[in-house]
Amino acid sequence: MCKAFSAVLGAGLFLLSGTACAQLAPHSVTLTWTASISSGVTGYRIYRGTASGGPYTILNSVVGTSYMDAAVQAGATYYYVVTAVDGSGIESAYSNEAQAVVPSQPVSATIGVTPGSLSFNQTAGGPGPSSQSVSISSSGAALNFSAGASTNNGGSWLSVSPGAGSAPGVLIVAVNGAGLAPGTYTGSVTIVSAAANSTQTVSVTLAVSSAAAVPTVAAVMNAATFLPSSVAPGQIVTIFGAGIGPVTPASLRVNPGGFVDQSLAGVRVLFDGVAAPMIYASATMASAIVPYTISGRFSTRLQVEFQGTASPGLDIAVAAAAPGIFTMNQSGSGQGAILNQDYSVNSAGNRAPKGSVVMIFGTGEGQTNPAGVDGLITGSVPRNPLQPVSVTIGGQPAEVQYAGSAPGLVAGVLQVNARVPDGILSGDAAPVVLTIGSASSPSTVTMAVQ
C-alpha cells in the first residue's frame, strides 16, 4: 500500500520524489525517495501528521534517502512531509504530503520498478546512446527476481543486465541501433518475482533519426515568463525552434562532478561559444541556463547545436537582470510557484496568512556575490544578486527577508522570501511582482492570500 509523493517547483525542476509504503507486521510506514539534484543537500527531515495539512511533528533527521516510522497503529492514517536540508540546516525543497494508511490485515510483498518507461535516441549510422538504469524495490519482504528483454520490431536491439538479482537492485538497460533504418522501435524489459504483483514491465522506445538537419531557432524566451526579452547572466531561458533536439524529450542530469551537464541528448546551447547547463531538450524546445561569462556584455550570440550541427547565430541583448517568477502551470501567468511559510504549496485552497513569509521562486537575477558558477548545485554558500531586490504583493511592498540562490537547486534558480503585507485584500489572485535593479517581472503572476 504505497502512495507516491514529489517536490513541486515549476519549470521542470524537481528535487524529491518517492513513495510512502505502509505494512502491518511489523507495524511501520517506510518512506523512500530519490534526489535528482542532490549536491549541496546534506540530509533530510521527516515530519508526520495525523490529519491532512498538519499540524506536523518532526520525527527525525536522516542522511540517507529512506526512513521507517515504527510508531504507527494498524488501521490508522498518517501524513508525511520530507524536506531537504543543506549544510547550514536550512530547509529548501519539500515534498508534497504523502498519505500512508496502515492496513488492518497483513499485506503480501510487492515489487516496484522505477522508471516505468525508457526512451533512447540515435542517429542512423551514428554511435549508440548511453545505457540507462532501472531501480528495483520491494515492500513486505525481500524478493529475488529475474529480468529479460524483448522487442516488437527491428530485431534484437535491446538488452538488460543482470538477468537475475534481489530487490533492492538496479538493472542496466542498453540498446544497439546499428543497422536500423530511421523510425521508431519499441520493446520492453520484464521483471518477474514471487511478489503479489509478480510481473512488472518497463516499456522501451528507440527513436532512430536521419542525419541531423541544420537546427533552426525561432524564439528565445524567459523560462519563467515565457516572454521574449534580453538575457541576463544565470537566467533560465526556453528556446523554440525546429530540429533543435531529439524526438523524445530529455531532462537535466547531474554529472559525476556534481554539476548540471552542458550537453543533453546530443544538444548543446552556446552563448558566444560557451556551452550552457542544459535543463531540457526536445525537437522543438530546449531550456538552458545562460552562462555567467556574459556578464558586462552588451549582446551575446546564441546557437543551438544538435548532434554536432549548429544553428545560425542569433544575437540577443544582454541585461543586468531579467526577473521572472515561475508559475505552477509553466505559462508565465496565474498561480506562482510559491510556498507558504509551512512549506506547503500556495493555492486557492491553501492561502498564505497576512504577515506570514512566503517563498517565491524565479530566475533572471543576473550576476551574484559570490560570482555565479555555471551548473553549480547550490550548497551551504548562498549567492545573492548584486542588484537590489524588492517585491510587491497585491500592489503593496513586501518585506524581503532573503534573496539568493535556492538551496539544493541549480545556480540560476532564485529564491526570494518575502512577508505578505498586512493591509492587502484577501483573495486568490493577488499580483506578485519581483524587481531586481531597474527590471521588474510581469504583473501576471498571482498568489492566494487569507
Name the DSSP letter for residue 346: P
Is the fold of 110-209 the same as that of 216-317? yes
- Grid cell, residue 3, equals 502512495
Cβ neighbour number for residue 340 with a 10 Å cutoff: 21
Residue 206: Cβ-neighbour burial (10 angstroms; 0-12, 13-18, 19+): buried
Amino acid 195: pLDDT = 72
Residue type, 126: G
> Is the model's pTM score more than 0.85?
no
Q: Provide the terminal-to-terminal Cα distance of the chain, rounded to the nearest Å.
A: 35
- CATH 3.30.70.260 is held by the domain 110-209: no
Which residues, listed in sequence order, are joined to residue 19 by a DSSP beta bridge? 4, 32
Please state the separation of Cα 394 from the chain's center in Å. Answer: 29
Task: Flag residues of the chain having pLDDT under 70.
Answer: 1-3, 5-17, 20, 22-27, 35-39, 104-108, 141, 211-212
Please state the separation of Cα 265 from the chain's center in Å. Answer: 17
Is the dihedral angle over the CA atoms 440, 437, 410, 215 positive or is it negative?
positive
Structure confidence by residue, pLDDT tens digits, 207-224? 998 765 789 999 999 999
Amino acid 84: pLDDT = 82
Q: Could you tell me the residue ranges of all domains in the chain?
A: 2-101, 110-209, 216-317, 324-449
Amino acid 13: pLDDT = 35
Contact 364, 414 (CB under 8 A): yes
CA distance 17 to 82: 10
Amino acid 54: pLDDT = 87
Tell me if residue 292 falls in helix, strand or coil: helix
CATH code for the domain defined by 216-317 = 2.60.40.10
CATH code for the domain defined by 2-101 = 2.60.40.10
Is the dihedral angle over the CA atoms 373, 375, 381, 387 positive or is it negative?
positive
> Which residues are CB-contacts of 13 (< 8 A; sequence separation ≥ 6)?
37, 252, 279, 409, 410, 413
Report the DSSP pairing between strands 357-363 and 338-339. Answer: antiparallel
Which residues, listed in sequence order, are joined to residue 91 by a DSSP beta bridge? 85
Structure confidence by residue, pLDDT tens digits, 176-190? 998 899 999 999 999
